[in-house]
């Protein structure tokens, strides 16, 4: 099984007037994962090894192939396949593989780069529910709680993270990956396994920026509040407005911006400040 962090030999410049010294450095691992449905390859995504089954489930939730209804699909690793491969078995459910309009390769930097058409990028999902109302100070504390779980980021500086919280600010799942969309897929897959979907009473936090694909994946999982440590993209904001999703960004001590759905964030402090 590939490791999430690999150690490499480097040459480190610390004094530009002198020769570099040899050293070792930790890097975030990036390896391909093939996702199959009933033996049929449908995607290869570049990811950080670990939580591969959750990644596959979350990917299929984001594609609209599976939902929280019915039994959780069984997943098996394909030992005979070259490299890493997982096979999702949908227990006889009828699915439309033609609806999977991506090309086979998905990069770690962008989860929708393989979409076959512009129409395929903008998927339609069930309307979002009312969702929770959370105090502004609770939203700010989520970033510290997520950062405390990022052990591999501390070693490498090269991983994104996603965290799923309940409306009281309790961290339920956190995952790291070189791809920000993969980290979200892993969190959604974990929630699916725990039979929590739809996630209308939950908050998703991402460690970097909020892209269109992350907002789309949140909508597919029923999430009503998405917060990002960094900025959202313009298309992410457009989609958030269209879906009625609350989107916050630039979480900093004492301040943040709300780009859509301000009604779910209330001024002031929560009763529990720990």
Per-residue pLDDT at 219? 95
> Same domain for 140 and 259?
yes
Q: Which residue range is the domain that position 45 belongs to?
A: 31-121
| C-alpha to C-alpha distance for 164 and 175, rounded to whole angstroms | 9
Instruction: Give a yes or no: residue 145 inside a domain.
Output: yes
Q: Indicate the number of domains in the chain.
A: 2
pLDDT band at 45 (very low <50, low <70, confident <90, very high): confident
Neighbouring residues of 247: CB distance < 8 A, sequence distance ≥ 6: 210, 215, 226, 227, 228, 232, 236, 237, 240, 258, 259, 260, 261
- Where does a domain end: 75, 91, 121? 121
Residue by residue, DSSP assigns 85-121 as EEEEE-TT----GGG--B-SEE-SS-TTTTBSSHHHH
Residue 115 lies in a domain: yes
Q: Is residue 101 part of a domain?
A: yes
**Same structural domain for residues 259 and 141?**
yes
Q: What is the CATH number of the domain that holds 229?
A: 3.40.140.10
**pLDDT over 70 at 67, yes or no:** yes
Residues composing the chain: 274
**pLDDT (tens digit, 9 = 90+) per residue, 107-123?**
666 666 555 444 555 66
Q: Which residue has better confidence, 21 or 163? A: 163
Q: Give, as one character, the DSSP assignment of residue 148.
A: T
Across all residues in the chain, what is the average pLDDT? 83
**90 and 167 together in one domain:** no
* pLDDT computed for residue 83 by the predictor: 62
Which pLDDT score, from 0 to 100, does residue 41 have? 85
Active site residue 110: yes
DSSP 8-state symbol, 129: -
Q: Are residues 253 and 145 in the same domain?
A: yes
Find the mean pLDDT for residues 127-148: 90
Tell me which of 89, 121, 153 is where a domain ends: 121
Q: Which of 6, 89, 110, 258 is catalytic?
A: 110
Considering the domain architecture, whether residues 144 and 193 belong to the same structural domain is answered as yes
């Amino acid at each position: 099984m590939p490791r999430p962090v690999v150690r490499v030999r480097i040459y480190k410049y610390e004094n530009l007037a002198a020769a570099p010294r040899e050293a070792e450095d930790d890097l975030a691992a990036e390896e391909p994962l093939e996702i199959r449905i009933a033996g049929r390859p449908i995607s290869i995504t570049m990811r950080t090894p670990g939580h591969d089954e959750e990644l596959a489930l979350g990917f299929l939730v984001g594609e609209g192939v599976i939902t929280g209804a019915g039994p959780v699909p069984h997943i098996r690793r394909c030992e005979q396949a070259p490299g890493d491969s997982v096979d999702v078995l949908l227990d006889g459910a009828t699915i439309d593989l033609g609806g999977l309009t991506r090309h086979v390769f998905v990069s770690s930097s962008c989860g929708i780069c393989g979409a076959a058409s512009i129409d395929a990028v903008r998927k339609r999902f069930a309307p979002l529910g009312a969702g929770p109302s959370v105090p502004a100070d609770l939203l700010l504390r989520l970033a510290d709680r997520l950062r405390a779980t990022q052990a591999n980021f501390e070693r490498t500086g090269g991983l994104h993270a996603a965290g799923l919280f309940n409306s009281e600010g309790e961290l339920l799942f956190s995952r790291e990956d070189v791809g920000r969309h993969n980290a979200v897929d892993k969190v959604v897959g974990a929630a699916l396994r725990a039979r929590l979907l739809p996630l209308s009473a939950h908050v998703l936090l991402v460690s970097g920026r909020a892209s269109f694909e992350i907002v789309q994946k949140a909508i597919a999982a029923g999430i009503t509040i998405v917060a990002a440590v960094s900025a959202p993209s313009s298309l992410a904001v457009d989609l958030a407005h269209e879906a009625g999703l609350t989107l916050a960004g630039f979480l900093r001590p004492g301040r943040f911006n709300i780009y859509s759905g301000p009604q779910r964030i209330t001024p002031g402090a929560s009763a529990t400040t720990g």
